[in-house]
Amino acid sequence: MSIIDSVRNALVPVHREGYRFVAIFFGVSVLLGLIAEPLFWIGMVLTAWCAYFFRDPERVTPLDDDVVVSPADGRVSSVVRMRPPEELGLGSDEMLRISVFMNVFDCHVNRSPVAGQLVRKVYSKGSFLNAELDKASSENERSGMVIETERHGEIGVVQIAGLVARRILCWSDEGEMLDTGERFGLIRFGSRLDVFLPAGARSLVSVGQTAIAGETMLAEFGSAKGPVVSRRD
Identify the CA nearest to 121 among candidates 75, 74, 163, 89: 89
Alpha carbon distance 109, 170 (integer Å)? 10
Q: How many C-alpha atoms does 225 have within 13 Å on its Cβ side?
A: 15
- Dihedral (C-alpha) 113, 101, 136, 114: value to the nearest 10 degrees? 0
| Residues assigned a catalytic role | 191
Alpha carbon distance 117, 155 (integer Å)? 10
CB-based contact 143:120 (threshold 8 Å): no
DSSP line for 120-137: EEEEE--B---TTSTTHH
Judged by DSSP in three states, 192 sits in strand
Cβ atoms within 10 A of the Cβ of 87, count?
16
Pairing state between β 109-111 and 201-203: unpaired
